Every structure is written in C-alpha cells, then in structure tokens.
Amino acid sequence: MTATLHIEHAITDYPTWKAAFDRFGNARAQAGVTTHRIRLLENDLHQIVIDLEFATPELARAFLDFLHEKVWRTGNAPALVGTLKTAVLIEAPA
C-alpha cells in the first residue's frame, strides 16, 4: 500500500526554503521517497505544501520521525516558521 507524507507549513521565503529542501535530496532517496510535489498557496506564497510519496506507510512514518528529530528540531530548516501540520495519507478503499 503506497502512502503520502503530507506536510504544510509557513516559510520566510521560497528560495531559502528550497535550498534547504534540496540539501536533503539524498536523505529523501535513502528513506524511500519515490516522488515529491511542492506547492504554494495561491493567496499566500509563504505557505507551502509538500507531498512525499512512499511505497509503504511505515516508510512515510519513519521519514516523518527523521524530519522531526534531525531537521526541524535541530535548526536545519532555516526558512521554516510557525507550526507544522503533517499527516500520513493512504489510499481509501474503492
């Protein structure tokens, strides 16, 4: 069962945030991210939405733990501000 790690948060500016995001490309690959999608709110370019796709919910939860412990709590996310909203999403039954 595939899963999506859905993340929403405020940023100070996109170029700073994107540079930090890009630095973790290898970590995402090693964690099993198969694809990602980055979007900004149309009416608030300081609000970002990221969807990271994984083969399993377990991989998504493990990467969320990594983000909490190694990125967000350590100051490795320089453009991050405010409160994060995260969720692991799975496909609904047909």
pLDDT tens per residue, range 82-92:
889 999 999 99
| Residues in CB range of 8: below 8 A, 6 or more apart | 47, 48, 49, 50, 84, 85, 86
pTM: 0.91
The count of structural domains within the chain is: 1
Report d(CA 54, CA 59) in Å as an integer: 6
Report d(CA 33, CA 12) in Å as an integer: 25
The domain of 86 spans 3-90
pLDDT tens per residue across span 9-60: 999 999 999 998 998 899 999 999 999 999 999 999 999 999 999 999 999 9
Report d(CA 64, CA 50) in Å as an integer: 12
Look at residues 51, 48, 53 and name the one whose alpha carbon lies nearest to residue 77: 48
CATH for 22: 3.30.70.100
pLDDT value of position 61: 98
